[in-house]
Structure 1
Amino acid sequence: MRLLRSTDLALRVLMRLAVAGSASPTTRQVAEDMGVPYTHAAKVVAELQHLGLVDARRGRGGGLSLSEQGRDASVGAIVRTFEGEGDVVECEGTTPCPLNSGCRLRGALRRAQEAFFATLDPLTVREIVADPTGPLLLGISRGPQDG
């Protein structure tokens, strides 16, 4: 299974914010740290804020921080939210699959997808940034001005 770019970015943003400490990076800084366009980061951050996983403050001294709900959020739930509950393959669509009425593959793929999510369900954002990941994230998030 391949994650959507927005799902991958959402997880990386949450991980980055989980190790930010008292620093509150801006969306622009997070986008630069992650090497993604600002517009993509802004869209993902807005969704994470809507979900209550990220707090955003505007203006001087503003920035992003991970909410307590975000720290304890299930990685599986986050992935489900960004990926959606759709099937792995599109059987209906504009050109329906001719095997649709008797296909056994669709059910097998759905069960495999659910097993994938179930494996991620018990993991929290807090757990996926534990050592050695946290220090690595801090290393990549230091800009040139940090020395």
Structure 2
Amino acid sequence: MRLTKRTDIALRIAMRLAVLGEEVSPTTQEVAEAIAVPYSHAAKVVARLRHLGVIEARRGRGGGLTLTQAGRSGSLGTLVRDLEGVGDVAGCEEVPACPLRAACRLRHALRQAQEQFYTALDHLTIDDLVAPPTGPVLLALSPRPSGPRGRTTPV
């Protein structure tokens, strides 16, 4: 099983916000730079994470992104399920559709394997992912945003 790029970016954004804490609210641009992804990709993912209630985004002066309590302590398996969506691991429904799909045992086996993958993540949270040694590494990736926009403090 392989996660989509969007899910990978979403998890990195959530992890970055988790290590920054509630006192620091970076912009989408700052987070994108810190995790080395294009701003346009990060903006789309931030919108999805907001919709899921994982992050809060405030506009204007003093605005920025923060991880919600639900985002911090919610099940990682549930989050990945929400981000990945429900569907076949293989392209059973693509055009042209697989001629075996009506009687295929592989499709069922792959769905079971996918659910076991998600189940293995169910007991984890974003907070678990940023426990040492990961958290300090995430903080060291780039300057830490602080105060008014445009000012950063080296880590």
| TM-score category of the 2 structures, normalised to the smaller one | over 0.9
The alignment status of 1:4 with 2:11, answered yes or no, reads no
Which residue number corresponds to residue 38 of structure 2? 37
Q: Deviations over 1:63-116 (max 9, x none)?
A: 111111111121111111111110101212221212222221111111110000
Which runs of structure 2 are paired with 1:54-93 in the superposition (5 Å)?
A: 54-93=55-94
1:146 partner amino acid: T
Aligned residue for 1:19, secondary structure, equals: helix
Q: For the aligned residues, what is the CA RMSD?
A: 1.5
Which residue number corresponds to residue 147 of structure 2? none
CA–CA distance in structure 2, aligned partners of residues 16 and 141 of structure 1:
11
2:12 partner amino acid: R
Aligned residues: 147
Q: What 5-or-longer segments of structure 1 have no aligned partner?
A: none
Which residue number corresponds to residue 148 of structure 2? none
Which residue number corresponds to residue 146 of structure 1? 153
Q: What 5-or-longer segments of structure 2 have no aligned partner?
A: 145-151
Which residue number corresponds to residue 95 of structure 2? 94
Which residue number corresponds to residue 111 of structure 1? 112
- The alignment-based identity, stated in percent, is 58
1:10 partner amino acid: A
1:85 partner amino acid: V
2:15 partner amino acid: M
Which residue number corresponds to residue 46 of structure 1? 47
Q: Runs in 1 of length 4+ with deviation above 2 angstroms? A: none
CA–CA distance in structure 2, aligned partners of residues 38 and 109 of structure 1:
34
CA–CA distance in structure 2, aligned partners of residues 50 and 101 of structure 1:
35
1:123 partner amino acid: L
Q: CA deviation at 1:37?
A: 0.9
CA–CA distance in structure 1, aligned partners of residues 142 and 74 of structure 2:
22
